[in-house]
Structure 1
Amino acid sequence: MSITAVTCVKNEGPFLLEWIAFHQCIGVTDFLFYSNDCDDGTDTLLDALAELGHVQHLPNPAEGRNYQMEALKDAKKQKVVQDADWVWVADVDEFPNIHVGDHSFAALIDACGNPQTISLNFQFFANNEIDTFEDRPVIEQFTHSHNPDLWCGEAAIEVKSLVRQDFPLQYFGAHRPFFQPKVKKKQRPSWTDGSGRDVPHRFLVAANPRRIRRFPAAGSRSHATLNHYALRSLDSYLVKNDRGDVNRENRAFDDTYWRERNDPAWEDTSIRRYLPALRKQIETLKSQGNIAQLHEACVTAHKARRDALLEQKEYRNMQKHLRRASKLPPQEEAMLRDLGLLEEIL
């Protein structure tokens, strides 16, 4: 069975080998990377991995700012996607944590009854009060998340999707595929959550614009969940902010994204079962060609960028602010304040 993972990256060099090795461990056979505007060695490392046959690497074709959707539009035309039995669209901070069988994608597909699509709900992992970037597996370091059934007071949580080749595809979305509008009701694709249950009808047909990327997570994680490490260390989060459009001079830093994903209420270390195989596969990749040296160059560039950012007052202020920030998501804090319970909680 062939499985192609499709992803977009910018300055993710230190995290590439872990993500590739992890996905190789769960059965991904091919990788299609799109990169843009990298200055930390990400593109050089991907080119070297491509030369060794581990991945395919293309420049992002986007001419404007819609990088991900333009890349996914292009991916649909690529042979590595067209020839795959399954396609997995995800980011390099997202790791499927499969609870059944041998913990592979194949075991998940079997447990879900071989549907045409499986959508896994995010489980956002908090920062764990880790300030310093370390070059060791992300899945080992960050072990606390929100209650898996609730996030920021919402029962519906976003997903990423594994798509079978015979899905009547109109186009790939970043979170879920969309089927052709002329598909008859009885021919709509079979589609399950991470427990093998049919996804809600309104999600299936994308009937509600606000919910086309999510559905209730309660009961949906029996076979698998999707660990999402959107924050990582505080060092890496600062670099992540710099990677995007950040210009904080003369305006207050908005900590909403951080606080929404830094809820440590729930401990979940189950993904650590992959660590022995993951470490072995990372070392296998590093042993080939100049991969180890290129990875180390990415790590060095990541640390250097952190140091450069912390020479700027706005980033030092951001660092201090995030260290002190409440671990209650803003929505939950507002609700507790309205109920007069906030002081009791704090």
Structure 2
Amino acid sequence: MRITAVTCVKNEGPFLLEWIAFNRLIGVTDHLFYSNDCSDGTDDLLDALAARGLCQHLPNPAQGRNYQMEALKDSRRHDIVTTADWVWIADVDEFLNIHVGDHTIPALIDACGNPQAISVNFQFFANDGTEGFEDRPVIEQFTKSHNPDIWCGEAAIEVKSLMRHDFPLKYFGAHRPFAKGKERPEWTDGSGRKVPHKFLVAANPRRLRRFPAHGARELATLNHYALRSLDSYLVKNDRGDVNREHRAFDDTYWRERNDPAWEDISIARYLPDLKKALAELKKDKEIKALHDEAVKRHLAKRDELLAQPEYQQMQAQLRTVSTLPPQEEALLVELGLMEPAA
């Protein structure tokens, strides 16, 4: 079975090897990377990996700012996508944690009854007080999350999707494919149940990329490490080209994903094999050197940012901000169970 993962990256160099190695463990056979405006050596590392047949690497074709959608549109003309049995569209901070069989994508597909698409709910893993970047597996470092059935006051949680080659595709979305006309493909959630009808037919604008997670993760969960360490989050914010001069930093994104109420170490089942796979990749001296250079540049960028007052303020704010998601805090205030923040 050929399974192709498609993703877009910018300055993700320290995290590439883990993501590729992990995906290969769960059954991904091919990787298509699109990169843009990298300054940490991401593109150099991907070129080296591509030269060894471990991925394909292309410059992002986007002419404006819509990098992801332009790349996904472009991907449909490449053999690595068109000849795949399944396509998996995800980001480098997202890991498909499969709970069934031998914990691979083929096992998940079999357990779901071999539908034309499978959409798996996110589980947002918290920073949980981790300040410094460490060059070791992200899936090992972060084990706390929100209650995976309910995210804050929003019962519906975002998904990412696997798509079979015969899906009646109109176009790829970042979170789910969209079907042609009135086609009704076979489509399940991460428990093998049919996805909600309004999600299937894209009839509810608020639910185009999400549906309730309760009961939807029996076979698989999508572990999303959107925050990682505080160091890496600062670098991630710079990567987004956000100009914060004379403007207060909005910590909503951080707070919504930094709820450490739940511990989940189920993905640790992959760690022994993942560490072996990473060690094998790093036996190649050029690959190891390029990875190490990306780590060095990642930390140098952190130091550069922390020389700026606005990033010093951001760091201080995120160190002390409440771990209650804003929606949950608002509900507790409304119920009279806590005082409003000063």
TM-score interval (norm. to shorter): over 0.9
TM-score, reference length from structure 1? 0.97
Aligned residue in 1 for 2:207: 211
Tell me, what secondary structure is at the counterpart of 2:5? strand
Tell me, what secondary structure is at the counterpart of 2:232? helix
Task: Find the aligned partners of 1:2 and 1:289 in 2 and give their Cα distance.
Answer: 29
Task: Find the aligned partners of 2:313 and 2:325 in 1 and give their Cα distance.
Answer: 20
Aligned residue in 2 for 1:157: 157
Task: Find the aligned partners of 2:152 and 2:198 in 1 and give their Cα distance.
Answer: 22
Q: Which of residues 194, 209, 213 in structure 1 aligns to 2:190?
A: 194
Cα-to-partner distance string for 1:118-137 (whole Å, 9 max, x where unaligned): 00000000002100000000
What letter matches 1:63 in structure 2? Q
Task: Find the aligned partners of 1:278 and 1:338 in 2 and give their Cα distance.
Answer: 46
Task: Find the aligned partners of 1:117 and 1:198 in 2 and give their Cα distance.
Answer: 10
The alpha carbon displacement at 1:245 in A equals: 2.4
Instruction: List gaps (5 residues or longer) in structure 1.
Output: none
Task: Find the aligned partners of 2:242 and 2:160 in 1 and give their Cα distance.
Answer: 26
Task: Find the aligned partners of 1:343 and 1:269 in 2 and give their Cα distance.
Answer: 34
**2:74 matched to 1:80?**
no
The alpha carbon displacement at 1:251 in A equals: 1.1
Aligned residue in 1 for 2:250: 254
Cα-to-partner distance string for 1:14-51 (whole Å, 9 max, x where unaligned): 00000000000000000000000000000000000000
Aligned residue in 2 for 1:290: 286
Task: Find the aligned partners of 2:177 and 2:73 in 1 and give their Cα distance.
Answer: 12
The alpha carbon displacement at 1:77 in A equals: 1.0
262-271 or 281-290, which moves further after superposition? Answer: 281-290
Cα-to-partner distance string for 1:139-159 (whole Å, 9 max, x where unaligned): 000000000111121110000
TM-score, reference length from structure 2? 0.98
Task: Find the aligned partners of 2:299 and 2:322 in 1 and give their Cα distance.
Answer: 26
The alpha carbon displacement at 1:182 in A equals: 4.5
The alpha carbon displacement at 1:288 in A equals: 2.5
Aligned residue in 2 for 1:342: 338
Tell me, what secondary structure is at the counterpart of 2:238? helix
What letter matches 1:176 in structure 2? R
Q: Write out aligned runs for 1:164-183 (5 A).
A: 164-183=164-183
The alpha carbon displacement at 1:343 in A equals: 4.5
Cα-to-partner distance string for 1:226-274 (whole Å, 9 max, x where unaligned): 0000000000000000000211111111000000000001100010110
Tell me, what secondary structure is at the counterpart of 2:322? coil
Aligned residue in 2 for 1:134: 134
Tell me, what secondary structure is at the counterpart of 2:307? coil
After TM superposition, where is structure 1 displaced by more than 3 Å over at least 4 residues in a row?
none
Matched-pair identity in %: 75
| 1:182–1:201 CA distance, 2 compared to 1 (3 A) | closer
Task: Find the aligned partners of 1:222 and 1:236 in 2 and give their Cα distance.
Answer: 31
Task: Find the aligned partners of 2:104 and 2:14 in 1 and give their Cα distance.
Answer: 24
What letter matches 2:275 in structure 1? R
Tell me, what secondary structure is at the counterpart of 1:113? coil
Task: Find the aligned partners of 2:106 and 2:79 in 1 and give their Cα distance.
Answer: 22
Cα-to-partner distance string for 1:186-229 (whole Å, 9 max, x where unaligned): xx110000000000000000001111100010000000000000
Aligned length: 341
Instruction: List gaps (5 residues or longer) in structure 2.
Output: none
**2:97 matched to 1:97?**
yes
Q: Write out aligned runs for 1:271-282 (5 A).
A: 271-282=267-278
Aligned residue in 2 for 1:19: 19
- RMSD across aligned positions (CA): 1.1
Task: Find the aligned partners of 2:205 and 2:74 in 1 and give their Cα distance.
Answer: 24
Tell me, what secondary structure is at the counterpart of 2:96? strand
What letter matches 2:234 in structure 1? L
What letter matches 2:55 in structure 1? V
